[in-house]
Amino acid sequence: MALFARSRRRAAGIAAAALVALVALIPLSGAAAAGKPLPHPQPRPEAPGSAVASALLRPSSTHRYLGLAQSGVPQQADLLREAAGRIGKTPNLLEYYASFQENFNVQATRNAWNQGALTLLTWEPFTVPLADIAAGKDDAYLRKFAGQVRAANIPVALNFGHEMNGFWYPWGTRNKASDFVLAYRHIHQVFDRVGAKKVVWVWTANIVNHIPTVKLAPLYPGDAYVNWIGMSGYNEDWEHWTFGDVFGRTVAQIRTFSRKPLLIAETGVDATADQAARISDLFSYVAASHDIIGFVYFNYNQRMDWRFDADPASGALAAFQQGAASLQFGFDVRNSAAHG
């Protein structure tokens, strides 16, 4: 959930956000928060995404991911087909959310892949402390989950603990930065040991605009553990921002510590009179940004109505269709996997 963007789908998330808001002003602490090395040497991981085609990890300059997050997609194949019909093209990056301790949804991943799309699984540890994950207390679950990913034998993008630089999630700034880094690295190491290698490792921060005092570098696991750096940020009418304004400061800060490909992992435009124009600006911004490999549109009605297809008369759907029609957006990931 991006700050000032939407409310959480889950009651657990709402309760957690209320609790952690009480400690929102507590500064990050520990070695990572101070920019110092973490206290214990970490085993050198295998290269992230080592079994994923390079054309998926870093698409060509003429290709961008056209992503969608929408209820029931990609879990239900018929809803995916309906969404593709409305857009006029099948989105090729499909995001859904799962709590830590849930099983890997193999069917959702197959549904996406069968339509030429990659799944982006945003994995949320609502009830599991980061320190416990890092200490190996959840390894039985992690081994099982990684085994399911390996058995599926289909590439999947895994986005653990998104928006960790915010205070609204229990894995956010109530923890030391090193807690998050060690947990992320440990998950990666378990997947390595299990042999689950068809994973695109995603690290997603909330845009820094409203939380400038929380620096991103101490929260970053390192290039050896990450394939894509994601950003969550929304364009709300009252702020009068372009998409360059939404993401520019965050991109600049990220580029001080990594050159990994950037993905807008969550975004949306609230349904106001100029929604269509701002959706067009989203497509233009991503198309002109050489190191942004695509975006995922959060097509939900939560706190605000972000849906581009809620009112066809508004012009928002037509603007999305026009942007998606560009050959630059959307490509069959199966072809890229075969030739990449």
Q: Are 116 and 333 in contact (CB under 8 A)?
A: yes
Q: Could you read off the pLDDT of 105-148 as tens digits, one per residue?
A: 999 999 999 999 999 999 999 999 999 999 999 999 999 999 99
Share of the chain above pLDDT 70, in %: 86
Q: Parallel, antiparallel, or unpaired: how do β-strands 292-298 and 65-69 relate?
A: parallel
Per-domain residue ranges of the chain: 11-339
Q: Are 7 and 169 in contact (CB under 8 A)?
A: no
Residue type (1 letter), 307: R
State how far the alpha carbon of 201 is from the alpha carbons of 155, 225, 283, in Å. Answer: 11, 7, 24
Query: Which residue numbers are catalytic?
Result: 163, 266
Determine if the pTM surpasses 0.75.
yes
The CATH architecture annotation of domain 11-339 reads Alpha-Beta Barrel (3.20)
State how far the alpha carbon of 103 is from the alpha carbons of 100, 169, 205, in Å. Answer: 8, 21, 24
Count of all residues that appear for the chain in the document? 340
What is the spatial distance between Cα 1 and Cα 19, in angstroms, rounded to a whole number?
A: 16
What is the spatial distance between Cα 118 and Cα 73, in angstroms, rounded to a whole number?
A: 12
**pLDDT tier, 303 (very low <50, low <70, confident <90, very high otherwise):** confident
